Amino acid sequence: MDREWLAGYRPHGKAEEADVARMRRLAGTEPDPWLRSLPLHFTASALIVHPATRRTLLRWHQRQQAWLQVGGHADPGECDPLAIARREAREESGLTDLVPWPDAGLRHLVVCQVEPGKGEPAHEHADLRYFLATEHPDAVVPENPDSPLRWVTTAEARDLVGPGNLRVTLDRLAVEFDGCRREA
């Protein structure tokens, strides 16, 4: 299994270094590190962005009772994190034109605690995060009525998500938006 996407990633700061070290151990020791039955397993997610308006899309996650990015688990046989993040993003947002932005690189790696629920014990997600862009933000369609979607600025998103690790991902998005503004 090709895991170059993880080998080439450079963490930022002590917390991310520790999470990436755990992810590399997981990838190096498990034949299928995406299996949901593992107490720590990979997931892939994305912040969907509309660069022209500098907004990002958040999704209400009923189980976590929080506004979060789109994403989730691999389906059986999947092992490409970008493809998993894109599939999950399409399913949860209804957007069909999603492309990696500003490129296909990983943007943030973080180990997240998941509370028990839906018959699952407490476990951890080794979440691999990307940015995906759309040119048609008004085409969003929530996956279901309990999972509304909201386009927000990065400042509004920070307020909605609170102090957790998604704030770090949003901070990295703000840097990308600022870099694009300077290049324009």
| Cα–Cα distance measured from residue 15 to residue 140, given in angstroms and rounded to the nearest whole number | 34
Q: How many domains does the chain have?
A: 1
pLDDT at residue 110, as a whole number: 98
Instruction: Burial-class residue 113 by CB neighbours within 10 Å (0-12, 13-18, 19+).
Output: exposed
pLDDT at residue 92, as a whole number: 97
Determine the structural domain holding residue 55 and report its residue range: 4-183
Residue of 132, 90, 167, 130 whose CA lies nearest to 5: 130
Q: Count the neighbouring beta carbons within 10 Å of the beta carbon of residue 181.
A: 10
What is the token pair recorded at 146? 């309990």
- Report residue 184's pLDDT band, with 50, 70 and 90 as the boundaries: very low
pLDDT at residue 182, as a whole number: 55
Residue of 131, 61, 135 whose CA lies nearest to 96: 135
Q: Which residues contact 162 (CB under 8 A, 6 or more apart)?
A: 66
- The answer to whether the bond into 100 is cis (omega within 30° of 0) is no
Instruction: Burial-class residue 155 by CB neighbours within 10 Å (0-12, 13-18, 19+).
Output: exposed
Q: Does pLDDT of 180 surpass 80?
A: no
- Report residue 25's pLDDT band, with 50, 70 and 90 as the boundaries: very high
Q: Does pLDDT of 98 surpass 80?
A: yes
**With pLDDT > 90 as the criterion, what percentage of the chain qualifies?**
84
Q: State mean pLDDT over 129-156.
A: 97
| CATH number of domain containing 165 | 3.90.79.10
Query: Mean pLDDT, the chain, as a whole number?
Result: 93
DSSP letter at 122 equals S
pLDDT at residue 1, as a whole number: 43
- Report residue 4's pLDDT band, with 50, 70 and 90 as the boundaries: confident
Helix (H) or strand (E) holding 154: helix 154-161
pLDDT at residue 183, as a whole number: 53
* pLDDT tens-place string over residues 49-90: 999 999 999 999 988 899 999 999 999 999 999 999 999 999
> For residues 108 and 23, is the Cβ–Cβ distance under 8 A?
no
> For residues 5 and 81, is the Cβ–Cβ distance under 8 A?
yes
